[in-house]
Amino acid sequence: MVFQSTLPISINEMPKEIRELNADTPLFGMTLGMRVMQNKVDSIFERLLNFKMSKSENLSYNKNLDVEIIEKEIITQCDFGCLIPPPNVVILTPTGSPNDDNKIFCITQMYKEEFSLNDNKYLDICADVAIFRRLIKSHARWKKIRPILGQWHTSKNMLNVILTIFLSYGIFYLATAIGI
């Protein structure tokens, strides 16, 4: 069974340049969509609070606010929910052994035919580590396969990266030195 979805953002066909990490490199941040949503919420709060400075330097603002008023205003002005269409569900008949590289490649070709992909369209496949490794080998035969490692392995690999970053800062040595 395959869930075919349209991604809400385009994935660059060219990989981004590799950047070296240092102490000033921002690792996490907001997406453009989240920044727009944050700006909307900020403007809603500013408008509802209605701050005013009098000539005598006294600050006044709307004190008749409660959670319901703020929530109602945010809900009316912000888009919530899943912003992509539901996926197409495609049921394919399995063939062969999942332990054979050639069979894995044949299955990717079956996906290509089922989804009517031409040679310039990509096929993103999310799989566990065993199939992922076989898909990497299939990538040499068909460059438009983009294997994606499953969530558990991705999380595990990200944890390894984060631990490596923190180790390079010497946080664990500091903790040992102060007796934690």
pLDDT band at 13 (very low <50, low <70, confident <90, very high): low
176: containing domain: 151-180
φ/ψ of 171, rounded to 5, equals -65, -40
The 3-class secondary structure across 106-152, one letter per residue, is HHHHHHHHHCCCCCCCCEEEEECHHHHHHHHHHHCCCCCEEEEECHH
25 located within any domain: no
- Whether residue 129 is predicted with pLDDT greater than 70 in this model: the reply is yes
pLDDT band at 173 (very low <50, low <70, confident <90, very high): low
41 located within any domain: yes
Let me know the angle formed at the C-alpha of 53 by 47 and 54, rounded to the nearest 5 degrees: 135
Same domain, 130 and 164: no
pLDDT band at 12 (very low <50, low <70, confident <90, very high): low
12 located within any domain: no
24 located within any domain: no
Same domain, 133 and 167: no
| Model pLDDT, residue 17 | 72
Q: Where are the beta strands (DSSP E) in 42-121?
A: 52-53, 59-60, 88-90
Encoding tokens for residue 138? 């299939």
- Whether residue 14 is predicted with pLDDT greater than 60 in this model: the reply is no
Quick one: what percent of the chain has pLDDT higher than 90?
2
Same domain, 144 and 159: no
| Model pLDDT, residue 16 | 67
- Whether residue 90 is predicted with pLDDT greater than 80 in this model: the reply is no
18 located within any domain: no
The answer to whether 75 and 109 are in contact (CB under 8 A) is no
Same domain, 137 and 159: no
Same domain, 144 and 156: no
Sequence-separated (6 or more) residues with CB below 8 Å from residue 78: 37, 40, 41
17 located within any domain: no
Same domain, 109 and 144: yes
Angstrom distance (rounded) from CA 131 to CA 123 = 15
| Model pLDDT, residue 93 | 62
pLDDT in tens, 67-76: 888 888 888 8
Give the residue, 97 or 113, on which the prediction is more confident. 113
Same domain, 139 and 106: yes
- Whether residue 15 is predicted with pLDDT greater than 60 in this model: the reply is yes
**Beta-strand pair 59-60/88-90:** unpaired
Same domain, 166 and 145: no
Same domain, 66 and 50: yes
The answer to whether 150 and 143 are in contact (CB under 8 A) is no
Same domain, 173 and 134: no
| Strand, coil or helix: 154 | helix
Angstrom distance (rounded) from CA 145 to CA 123 = 5
Q: Provide the number of structural domains found in the chain.
A: 3
117 located within any domain: yes
Which single residue is written with the structure tokens 């390894």? 160
